[in-house]
Chains A and B, each alone.
Chain A
Amino acid sequence: MKPNLFYLPMKDKELLVAEGVVREYLLPRQSLLSSRPKMRALDGVSLRLGKGESFGIVGESGCGKSTLARTVMGLEPPQNGRILFQGEDLYAISPEKLKSLRRGMQMVFQDPYGSLNPRHTIGRSIAEPLSLQENQTAEETSKLVGETLEEVGLEASDASKYPHEFSGGQRQRIALARALITRPAMIVADEPVSALDVSVQAQVLNLMLDLRERHQLAYLFISHDLSIVRHMTENVAVMFAGRIVEQGPTQDLFEKPSHPYTRDLLQAVPKPIPGKVRMNSSEPVPFQESDPISENLNGCPYRFRCSEATPICSESPPQLLPLQSHADSKRKSACHASGNQTPTNH
C-alpha cells in the first residue's frame, strides 16, 4: 500500500469511509476537433458509514447515486479521492486483497428481473459469491444456501427452482440471500424496492430490517423514495448533480430541511392525504431542468432551479459545512443562504 499523506485515522467503529470522491465520465465529442467534454458524476463526495449503521442516499435520477454505489463497491475507480472499507483503500490494495475484502460488501440491485440469471437455478445464483471462497464442499455449500434461503423467508427446497418461478418480491428476497451468503458487513442496496408493489415493498423492507438486526449489517440505502429512506435509515445524504448538498440524521433532516433542494424535494412528494391539495398553495417548482455539463463548472449546481438564488451562488460553489443554527452538529448543508459558509473566497 502506498503511503498517503492525507491519511485520516479511522475510528474503530467505522466501516466505510469515502473521502472527496470524484468520478468523471467522458461524453461524446461535440465537434470533430474539440476535446471530449467531461461530466462529473461525483464531485467531491465524502461520507462515513459505521458498523451496523444504515445510511440513506436520496436524489433524483442522474444525481450520482448509483455511481456512488458502484464506486464504494470497488467497481469504478474514482479519478480523485479514496474509498476505505474496513480501513483498506479499495483502489490501492492488491487484487487478491480486494477479492477477500469484497466478501464483506455485497450489493442488491433494483431490478429483480434483470439481476438473476434466468438460466441458473437460484441455488446456483446464491452460491456464486461463495465460489470465490476456497475449499467449500458441495454439501457445505448447499447447506448454507438452504439456511440462507430460509433466513429470507423462502424454503431450502426452492434452491432447485429457476427465477421465472418467483414473483418480484420473492426475487428480491433471493437477491438478498445472495448478498447475505458471504456474511457481509455492509450491503449496498440500490433502489431495492422501487420495482415492487406497495404491499410487497413493505414485506421486503421488513425483511431488510430483520436481517440488519440479526447480523449487525450496515446498509448504504439508495432510493429516490423519500418516505422509504426516512423509514429505513438513521443518517441520510441528499445528492444533487454529483454533490452532497445536505447531510444529517434522517429524522431531523426531514423535519427541518435546510437546503432549498431538500425542501423542494420534500415538497414535491405527493402525500396520501386527500383534500390537502398542496399544489395550489405553494409556489410552483421552477421549470428549468438541469444541464449537468455546464452546471458543474462553477457555483452552486442548484442555482438554476433555486428560488432563493443570489449572485454569490453563481460565483463560488458552496461547501458542505456544519449548520450552526441546529443544535445537532451532525447536520451539514452546502448552501450560501444557510449562513454556514465562510466569507473567504474559494
Chain B
Amino acid sequence: MEDLNFSLGFGERLGIVGESGCGKSVTALALLNLLPSTMNMAGSIHLASRDGQTEDLNQLSEARLCEIRGKKIGMVFQEPMSALNPVQTIGHQVSESLLLHHSLSRHEADQKASRMLDRVGLPDSRFARKLYPHQLSGGQRQRVVIAIAMACGPDLLVADEPTTALDVTIQAQILRLLSELVEEEKMSLILITHDLGVIAENTDRMLVMYAGRCVESGLTEDVFSKLKHPYTRGLFEALPEGEQQHKRGSTRLKTIPGRVPKLDERSRGCVFQTRCASVQPRCREEVPQWVESDLQHSWACWFPHEAQPVLSSHER
C-alpha cells in the first residue's frame, strides 16, 4: 500500500471500495495499528477526541493503543463466527470491553451490555444473555459483533465487509442498524466493502482503491455520477445491472481485462496501466498526479473521463 491520504470528520460516513487484494483491509488494520510485524507502516494517523486533542496512532505506545482500541475505535469484522469467542456467552463478550475500559462493576457492565444488545435488536426476552454464538444465526451474530464494537461508545467505527457473509435481506437490516447508530451517537463510520451498492446507499464520501493506492475519492454522489478514473468506470460497467440491464441472455457484460498485478509485477507509472483501455505512453512512465476538482472530488489519472455519466438514465 502506498501514499494513502484521507480524513474523516465527526459523524461522517466514509466508504472504501475495491477488489480483493487492493489494500482495503490493510487500511482498516493500519488504522488500529494492528498490522503484523512483517509489515511496515510509515506516515501518521491522527485521531481527534471530542475534547479537541489529537494523537498520532503511529507514535503511541502499545499500552495507549490498547486503551484506544475498543474504546475510541470500534471494529466490526467480516466473519461474525470467527470474530466471536465460541465458548463465551454473548452477554459476557459484550461486557468484556466495558469492564476493561470503564471501571464498572460486573453487574453494571452486564446491565449496560444487555441494553446494548437490546439496541442492536436482540431483546432479552428472545435472546437470553447466556446464549452462545453457535445458537444464533449469521445476522444475529453480526448484531452481537456490532454490540461489542459499540459498547464503549467509540468515536469511530471501522466496519470491514460487515455484511459480505450475510443474505441481502439480513444485509439490509444490518446496514440500517449501522446507519441508525451512526446518526444517534454522532459517530464516524468507515465502511469497507467491495459492493458498490452498499457504498452508494450508506456513505457520504468514498475512496476507490486499486492495487494499494487510492485512485479516486470524493463525495459518494460525485464519484458515482462522474466516474473520472477508468478503474472506477470499469467497476461500474462490469455490474450486471449497468447499461445492459434491459436485455438478457446473450448480452455480454463489459469487463476489465486482465487482473490486478501482483506485488512483484508492478512497474513504474500508473498502477492501472496494464488493464486500462485508454492507456497512453505517459501512463507507463509517470505516476499520475493527484488531481483535485471542486467539492473535494479528486482522482489519480493522467487522462480522466470527461464525457457524460454512463448511468444518467439508469433509474429503477
Interface membership of chain A positions 218-255, coded 1 if the CB is closer than 8 angstroms to chain B and 0 otherwise: 00000010111011111000000000000000110000
Residues of A within 8 A of B194 (CB): 197-198
Binding site of A, secondary structure by majority: helix, strand, loop or mixed?
A: helix
A265 touches B259 (CB 8 A): no
Cβ of A284 under 8 Å from chain B:
yes
Cβ of B139 under 8 Å from chain A:
yes
Q: How far is the CA of A93 from the CA of B239 in the complex (A)?
A: 43
A234 and B248 in contact, given A201-B238, A224-B167, A273-B316 (Cβ under 8 angstroms) = yes
Query: Which of A60, A197, A270 lies in contact with B197, CB distance below 8 A?
Result: A270
A265 and B220 in contact, given A198-B235, A200-B259 (Cβ under 8 angstroms) = no
Cβ of A264 under 8 Å from chain B:
yes
User: Total interface residues on A, using CB and 8 Å?
Assistant: 46
A250 touches B248 (CB 8 A): yes
Query: Which of A201, A271, A284 lies in contact with B316, CB distance below 8 A?
Result: A271
B168 touches A269 (CB 8 A): yes
Shortest beta-carbon distance from B46 to chain A in Å: 28
Q: How far is the CA of A199 from the CA of B211 in the complex (A)?
A: 14
A289 and B179 in contact, given A269-B197, A273-B224 (Cβ under 8 angstroms) = no
Cβ of A301 under 8 Å from chain B:
no
Residues of A within 8 A of B173 (CB): 284-285, 287
B250 touches A203 (CB 8 A): no
Q: What is the interface residue range for chain B against chain A?
A: 35 or more
Residues of B within 8 A of A75 (CB): none
Q: How far is the CA of A222 from the CA of B175 in the complex (A)?
A: 25
Q: How far is the CA of A251 from the CA of B248 in the complex (A)?
A: 8
A270 touches B198 (CB 8 A): yes
Cβ of B19 under 8 Å from chain A:
yes
A271 touches B172 (CB 8 A): no
A289 touches B170 (CB 8 A): yes
Interface 9-residue window, one of A117-125, A132-140, A275-283, A321-329:
A275-283
Cβ of A10 under 8 Å from chain B:
no
CB-CB nearest in chain B for A205:
B253
Cβ of B289 under 8 Å from chain A:
no
Query: Which of A213, A279, A289 lies in contact with B172, CB distance below 8 A?
Result: A279
Q: How far is the CA of A181 from the CA of B248 in the complex (A)?
A: 27
Residues of B within 8 A of A232 (CB): 240, 249
Cβ of A80 under 8 Å from chain B:
no
Shortest beta-carbon distance from B274 to chain A in Å: 13
Residues of B within 8 A of A268 (CB): 168-169, 171-172
Query: Which of B19, B140, B220 lies in contact with A198, CB distance below 8 A?
Result: B19
Interface membership of chain A positions 185-201, coded 1 if the CB is closer than 8 angstroms to chain B and 0 otherwise: 00000000000011111
A198 and B238 in contact, given A60-B168, A284-B176 (Cβ under 8 angstroms) = yes
CB-CB nearest in chain B for A305:
B169
Cβ of B124 under 8 Å from chain A:
no
Residues of B within 8 A of A250 (CB): 248
Residues of B within 8 A of A213 (CB): 250
Cβ of A61 under 8 Å from chain B:
yes
Q: How far is the CA of A276 from the CA of B171 in the complex (A)?
A: 17
Q: How far is the CA of A37 from the CA of B137 in the complex (A)?
A: 19
A271 touches B200 (CB 8 A): yes
- Contact residues of A between 36 and 85, Cβ < 8 Å to B: 54, 60-61
Residues of B within 8 A of A201 (CB): 238
Shortest beta-carbon distance from A239 to chain B in Å: 12
A199 and B238 in contact, given A60-B168, A213-B250 (Cβ under 8 angstroms) = yes
Q: List 11 A-B contacts (CB under 8 A).
A: A197-B194, A202-B255, A213-B250, A227-B245, A250-B248, A272-B200, A272-B236, A274-B201, A284-B176, A285-B169, A289-B170
Q: Which residues of A contact B (CB under 8 A)?
A: 54, 60-61, 167, 169, 197-203, 205-206, 209, 213, 224, 226-228, 230-234, 250-251, 264-265, 267-279, 284-285, 287, 289
Q: Which residues of B contact A (CB under 8 A)?
A: 19-20, 121, 137-140, 167-173, 175-176, 179, 194-202, 220-221, 223-225, 234-236, 238-241, 244-246, 248-257, 259, 311, 314-316
Question: Which 5 pairs between the two chains have the least Cβ-Cβ distance?
Answer: A270-B197, A231-B240, A60-B167, A199-B256, A197-B19
